[in-house]
A and B are shown apart, each in its own frame.
Chain A
Amino acid sequence: MSLTYEEVVAKYEPVLGLEVHVELNTNSKMFCGCSTIFGAEPNTQTCPVCLALPGALPTVNEKAIESTIKIGLALNCSIAPFSRFARKNYFYPDMPKNFQISQYDEPICVNGYVDVEIETDEGPKVFRIEVERVHMEEDTGKSLHVGGATGRIHGAEYSLLDYNRAGIPLVEIVTKIVPGTGKYAPEVAKAYVAELRDILRSLGVSDVKMEQGSLRCDANVSLRLIGSDVLGTRSETKNVNSLRSVERAIRGEMIRHAERLNNGERVVQETRHFQEDTGLTRSGRSKEQAEDYRYFPEPDLVPVAPDAAWIEQLRAALPERPSIHRKRLQEQWAVPDKEMSAMINADVLDVVEATVALGADPAKARSWWLGEISRIANEKDVAIKNLPISATDVAEIVALVNAGELTDKLARQVVEGVIAGEGKPSAVIAIRGIKVVNDDSALMAAIERACSGQPETAQKVRDGHLPAAGALIGMVMKDTKGQADAAKVRALLLAHLGQSEG
């Protein structure tokens, strides 16, 4: 029996639990000095520690601790005066020690919350997501499955392991159970992950690239009959790798659970994998027989007991919360909601802000980034951030236009040139020989040529029929290959023909 989403939420209440893993952007790994640069040749960023060679010992990266505390503070957590690392024991070939150094019953940050606002039928509404804990751990290596058709693990003949990612610092942010979101559950979850991403980015602690796996979400979903206070059995959907997928995965799981429950079947407590192509989840490992991780305090490391002064120093240096920051910018720039959303969706808010900070008018900065530059990015199918044009370039171009040294049309050519890699705006202008024609004698010659070329049109203008001037202006512009300032041409032309703007 197939159910619609509306039917599901009419009968059941979803309860969520979200676990987000964030790779920190430290220079070195969590427990050793190996580099963390993405995309290096296999096993070039490994050492006795992260390969778990016999005798090697971990040492804690101070920056990772600091980043984790910052995250905790930004999520309104208490920072534990005493916390410890623990070993989580299980065997897996991508995990060299066959235990993961993590935190168990003594995490570094506890009891926080994140408020997210979403649009509901009754208007904007704030949902509070309570954060249970933020703790530190380490990433695993990467396996490449060889043989078999799909490159997947099933059917592979053997696997090849690269431990460059083993030991990259990870922070896990775990929510308490999230009830009360009703039919908005998928959107709330998406908004939460988006808000986390923005907060983490503003803290500068992670690249937060979901597509590269530096931000990953595991979504726990269970259903209960509306009005019931008994929790249902949950499923855990692993490694959901985009904001849209968070929403789709939760929606899909809600429907799947409801169908089973309606059919009188049991929901199995298990790990599931989200499949981008179908939007459905596929069964993974059953968690009915919970793995016994045999946690115990990591004897090779000593407790972390951050002193209050350090915490307060970090708290004082926290950046403005992104959602508040956005509201403030919107007010300052007097931008309508729709434009604001457009900038956020296009991921240009930061760069527009930077351009404005360099002196550009907010409207102009916005229109360049959201207009011409976005268009080129779409055309080239690359992210705007990866185009070789900076806020400084755009600010410079805006200034040149304001000074009358570039027309809008010429400015577009300069933007094109910068993106094509021809250099900074000044270099592009020099190379392409772009310059506004503002030598009046040259312009006057062109105007005279136009008037003598179309004497009848010129006469109309002389007779006071100003709209006719357009055709003559067009000829002048063509004559000067677009390098003249159209407004100036118009003024000179009208003066030449004994007229002036009404």
Chain B
Amino acid sequence: MIRNSASEMASKLASGEITSVALTQAHLDQISAVDKDVHAFLHVDTEGALAQAAAVDAKRKSGEKLSPLAGVPLALKDVMTQKGIPTTCGSKILEGWRPPYDSTVVVNLKKNDIVILGKTNMDEFAMGSSTENSAYGPTHNPWDLTRIPGGSGGGSAAALAAFEAPLAIGTDTGGSIRQPAAVTGTVGVKPTYGGVSRYGLVAFSSSLDQAGPCARTVLDAALLHEAIAGHDPKDSTSINAPVPAVVAAAKAGNVKGMKIGVVKELNGDGYQKGVRARFEESLELLAAAGAEIVEVSAPNFEYALAAYYLIAPSECSSNLARFDAMRYGLRVGDNDGASAESVMNLTREVGFGREVKRRIILGTYALSSGYYDAYYGSAQKVRTLITQDFNKAFEKADVLVSPTCPTTAFKIGEKANDPLAMYLNDIATIPVNMAGIGGMSLPSGVAEEDGLPVGFQIMSPVMKDDRMYSVGAALEAALLSKWGAPLLSTIPALAGSK
């Protein structure tokens, strides 16, 4: 039952073949069985999930009209507030904090009767590409437990790959949904910036952060996308326009006559051989499905990484200032005679991990007087250039494509001491955040040399998210008929897995 797609689960629920309580219990059992090895979850809300499931079953029994995903369980990245449920963002500084309010995403999930199983592990405050930066220990990739599941949303992606949940919520600031999806063989979508409300998403970098759906199929991602997206007056940067018809696009999966642009700069040197091979193969399948493949150039993308590592730290240095031990969270050093200032200093020393501190200091520097123009100011100009590159490219192509990441999953600990090498993981995903457009990663097979999943990235213009679902669904269908079964059916079994 837990190996079905969310939409298959939804139809079984609708037909009465299974109940939400049974489905939820099956996932809770799987979590009990495998999460000691995977460590995808930071908190499992057994009681809350079962209560929610029972409520959905009752509604269904009474003949109430329910939303498409009603009763299907989901894993929530621990960066989203859920009233009364611990929210840590993978940080010590928020240990034990229970928000008194629901994020808009959670409000929407509840409205759609999607059952929230618990909170998933992540790099602290979403800063990282491996989930090794969690203060609560790393998450392990279900394909190979010695490897990273990507980051920052490694917990959400690993939960999907380990069949602990059929759906998950991620957030993507520079690739935190797409890169974990790529290295775990799952689907992850970063919607257009402003497509999904950020209210209740604990901010890392406000102008880049975007919540989105994670799933095992393109259609499941689309169903979840429609459930959580839409205008929110509580988020001033939310787009006041109808949600693109992503479910219809995913169902049709039609690429006939579409122009697909291959970004020259996001391929080639620095990309693992097996990654490139899978990418080429996918392009052939899309061409065979009726798409026209064209090449586009985005010369300024090579500056995206540098600009990102100025903009994101700058915003985070300000966003994370509120963690000061005064109103919530950890408080350290509050001894007789201690000053508020020293308590702030000590709490932030102990409460933040190394990567978070590194970025706060970097951002503080980039914004400081005398350096603003050279760093933050210049980075914002690069942002303009990247957007211009995208605009030009979208004149030639309906969507753009690239490998999601240069490599497959690396070993836990392998890059822990080399921040720059770690940052390179996001080289192909970052431009999307800089321009605020949509991006999707879906599995395109495994790399021959290591047998690990490879992601295929699709990028669509602002509020044209439906296009990436059309392409994603078409490619998914072509790959499925080639493989005969979903990629995840080939994942090695975890000890104790149902």
A55-B200 in contact (CB<8A):
yes
Chain A neighbourhood of B89, CB < 8 A: 54
A54-B202 in contact (CB<8A):
yes
The contact string, 1 if C-beta is below 8 Å from chain A, for chain B 83-112, is 000010100001001011101000000000
Binds B, one of A13-21, A292-300, A335-343, A387-395: A292-300
From known contacts A54-B94, A59-B234, infer whether A98 and B324 are also in contact, taking CB-CB under 8 Å.
yes
The contact string, 1 if C-beta is below 8 Å from chain A, for chain B 150-162, is 0000000000000
New A-B pairs, 4, CB < 8 Å, besides A53-B81, A57-B234, A161-B326: A53-B100, A89-B367, A161-B327, A300-B206
- 29 A-B pairs within 8 Å (CB atoms) are namely A53-B100, A53-B327, A54-B89, A54-B99, A55-B103, A55-B200, A55-B202, A55-B203, A56-B101, A57-B236, A59-B233, A89-B317, A91-B321, A91-B341, A96-B322, A97-B321, A99-B321, A292-B369, A294-B318, A295-B367, A296-B314, A296-B376, A299-B206, A299-B207, A299-B315, A300-B236, A300-B237, A301-B237, A302-B236
The reply on B340 being an interface residue by CB < 8 A is yes
**How distant is B332 from chain A, measured CB to nearest CB, in Å?**
15
Nearest residue in B to A163 (C-beta to C-beta)? Answer: B327
**How distant is B343 from chain A, measured CB to nearest CB, in Å?**
10
Nearest residue in A to B99 (C-beta to C-beta)? Answer: A53
Chain A neighbourhood of B199, CB < 8 A: 55-57
Select one of A51, A55, A93 contacting B80, CB under 8 A. Answer: A55
The reply on B32 being an interface residue by CB < 8 A is no
Nearest residue in A to B343 (C-beta to C-beta)? Answer: A93
Chain A neighbourhood of B423, CB < 8 A: none
Select one of A60, A97, A159, A294 contacting B322, CB under 8 A. Answer: A97
**How distant is A153 from chain B, measured CB to nearest CB, in Å?**
11
The reply on B349 being an interface residue by CB < 8 A is no
Q: How many residues of B contact A (CB 8 A)?
A: 44
Chain A neighbourhood of B202, CB < 8 A: 54-55
Q: Tell me, in angstroms, the Cα distance from A59 to B317 when the chains sit together.
A: 21
A87-B327 in contact (CB<8A):
no
The contact string, 1 if C-beta is below 8 Å from chain A, for chain B 224-258, is 00000000011111000000000000000000000
Nearest residue in A to B94 (C-beta to C-beta)? Answer: A54
Chain A neighbourhood of B340, CB < 8 A: 93, 159
Select one of A55, A60, A99 contacting B99, CB under 8 A. Answer: A55
Q: Tell me, in angstroms, the Cα distance from A52 to B89 when the chains sit together.
A: 16
B201-A55 in contact (CB<8A):
yes
Chain A neighbourhood of B237, CB < 8 A: 299-302
Select one of A54, A97, A292 contacting B81, CB under 8 A. Answer: A54
**How distant is A29 from chain B, measured CB to nearest CB, in Å?**
14
A57-B99 in contact (CB<8A):
no
A48-B100 in contact (CB<8A):
yes
Nearest residue in A to B232 (C-beta to C-beta)? Answer: A57
Interchain Cβ contacts within 8 Å, total number: 101
Give the interface of A toward B (CB within 8 A): 48, 51-60, 87, 89, 91, 93, 96-99, 159, 161, 292, 294-296, 299-302
**How distant is B374 from chain A, measured CB to nearest CB, in Å?**
14
Nearest residue in B to A59 (C-beta to C-beta)? Answer: B236
Q: Tell me, in angstroms, the Cα distance from A55 to B364 when the chains sit together.
A: 21
B341-A52 in contact (CB<8A):
no
Q: Tell me, in angstroms, the Cα distance from A165 to B300 when the chains sit together.
A: 46
Question: Which residues 180-211 of B have a CB within 8 angstroms of A?
Answer: 198-203, 205-207
Q: Tell me, in angstroms, the Cα distance from A55 to B206 when the chains sit together.
A: 10
Q: Tell me, in angstroms, the Cα distance from A97 to B317 when the chains sit together.
A: 12
B236-A60 in contact (CB<8A):
yes
Chain A neighbourhood of B236, CB < 8 A: 57-60, 300-302
**How distant is A332 from chain B, measured CB to nearest CB, in Å?**
48
Chain A neighbourhood of B317, CB < 8 A: 89, 294
Select one of A294, A299, A300 contacting B368, CB under 8 A. Answer: A294
Q: Tell me, in angstroms, the Cα distance from A59 to B202 when the chains sit together.
A: 16
The reply on B328 being an interface residue by CB < 8 A is yes
Q: Which of B81, B202, B321 has the most CB of A within 10 A?
A: B321
Nearest 8 pairs of A and B residues by beta carbon: A98-B321, A294-B367, A299-B206, A299-B207, A54-B202, A55-B200, A52-B322, A55-B81
A52-B327 in contact (CB<8A):
yes
Q: Tell me, in angstroms, the Cα distance from A51 to B323 when the chains sit together.
A: 12
Nearest residue in A to B341 (C-beta to C-beta)? Answer: A91
**How distant is B195 from chain A, measured CB to nearest CB, in Å?**
15
Q: Tell me, in angstroms, the Cα distance from A300 to B199 when the chains sit together.
A: 10
Question: Which residues 332-369 of B have a CB within 8 angstroms of A?
Answer: 340-341, 344, 364, 367-369
Chain B neighbourhood of A161, CB < 8 A: 326-327
The reply on B394 being an interface residue by CB < 8 A is no
Chain B neighbourhood of A98, CB < 8 A: 321-322, 324
A89-B322 in contact (CB<8A):
no
**How distant is A103 from chain B, measured CB to nearest CB, in Å?**
16
Q: Tell me, in angstroms, the Cα distance from A295 to B369 when the chains sit together.
A: 9
Chain B neighbourhood of A96, CB < 8 A: 322, 326-327
The reply on B410 being an interface residue by CB < 8 A is no
Chain A neighbourhood of B323, CB < 8 A: 54
Chain B neighbourhood of A295, CB < 8 A: 367
A57-B80 in contact (CB<8A):
no
Q: Which of B80, B205, B233, B368 has the most CB of A within 10 A?
A: B368
Select one of B207, B327, B344 contacting A91, CB under 8 A. Answer: B344
